[in-house]
Amino acid sequence: MDKVVIDDIEIALSRPVEMPLTWVGQEELVTQLLAAWLVLGEDDLPLNPRLLGKPGVGKTTLAYHAGKLMNKPVYLFQATMDTRPEDLIITPVISEKGKIQYVASSIVTAMIEGGVAVIDEGNRMSEKSWASLAPLMDNRRYVESIVAGIKIKAHPDFRMCVTMNDDASTFDLPDYIYSRLQPGIVLDFPDRDDELLILKKNLPFADDEILEYVVEFLQAAHAANDRYSVRDGINIARYALKRISADSTLKHGKADLSPLDYLRESAGMILDPAASEYFNEMMEIEDEE
């Protein structure tokens, strides 16, 4: 674990995340996020955008992808209802030798290293916790650790963004926090072509027939204003493919059911009976034809 010394206090740093995430399509969203992070001159500062949208539309993937495009280490902090201010900054822990060791959060590590901090599901976090980050998100660009008794300034290359699910808000954040989390970049469900590309990227081992069925399911669900996401589609397809493989192995190379049968079963198990109904309708249409 890397360490730094700030005002004679030794701080252990967190590690950046390395994830197999690839952003596909919707390049305008990438441009919007990168523009928010631009600095246009000595008196300018980067913005702290919030990425808004339904669960599973790719908010974290977008933030990670943009950070990697800037060749920066990316640090992820998962916000929860019980996140405390000290969790966001520095936490004291007892080392093996019985001494107190100060450990920087992923956010503070990103500040020190000049990386990207992604606060995931930020609207699950209370105002009290957000208040500890308020000086970081304006022209002061620092945080204070009461525990360690130090002030930590952000590296000029530090960037930050927050993801927020539009159905997962536990706390209503005050205006002074929202005014620091600008601009709001809204992610919606991808169109059919982008959704198919995402499925192919995540399921390179899947037959085109399976992927086409899943895209049809997702597009129909979006049109009906159901909240099923491409992440749900990936999980449905993945489990259906596993079921097909398992049945084929047990039954000497031949699965009993059709791909739609497996997808219908998978949708009911991964999501709910309403999701499996979409595949029922596809089967009825194919029977009529």
Return the DSSP state at 267: H
Dmax over Cα atoms in the chain, in whole Å?
77
Average pLDDT over residues 8-23: 87
pLDDT in tens, 126-142: 999 999 999 999 999 99
**CB-based contact 4:110 (threshold 8 Å):** no
Question: What is the model's pLDDT at position 63?
Answer: 94
- Which residues lie closer than 8 Å to 79 by C-beta, 6 or more apart? 119, 120, 121, 122, 123, 124, 125, 129
Residue 85: what are its φ and ψ, rounded to 5°?
A: -55, -40
- Per-residue model confidence (pLDDT) at position 19: 84
Band of pLDDT at residue 168, cut at 50, 70 and 90? low
> Distance between CA atoms of 72 and 143, rounded to whole angstroms?
21
Phi, psi for 53 (deg, rounded to 5): 165, 175
Residue 256: pLDDT over 80: no
Where do we find the tokens 């920087």? 104
The whole-number average pLDDT for the span 30-35 is 96
Model confidence pLDDT, tens digit, residues 267-286: 999 999 999 999 988 888 87
Which segment of 42-46, 71-75, 244-248 scores lowest on mean pLDDT?
244-248
Spell out a b/e string for 58-86, using b for 16 or more CB atoms within 10 Å of the CB, else e. bbbbbbbbbbbeeebbbbbbebeeebebb
Write the class of the CATH domain 3-186.
alpha beta
- Whole-Å CA distances, 49 to 22, 76, 99, 184, 215: 20, 15, 39, 6, 30
Phi, psi (5° rounding) for residue 284? Answer: -65, -40
Tell whether pTM > 0.95.
Answer: no
Phi, psi of 9 (to 5 degrees): -105, 125
- The lowest-confidence range among 19-23, 167-171, 174-178, 188-192 is 167-171
Q: What percent of the chain has pLDDT over 90?
A: 66
pLDDT greater at residue 56 or residue 218: 218
Residue-averaged pLDDT of the chain: 90
Which pLDDT score, from 0 to 100, does residue 142 have? 94
Mean pLDDT in residue range 63-71: 94
Cα separation, 126 vs 177, whole angstroms: 11
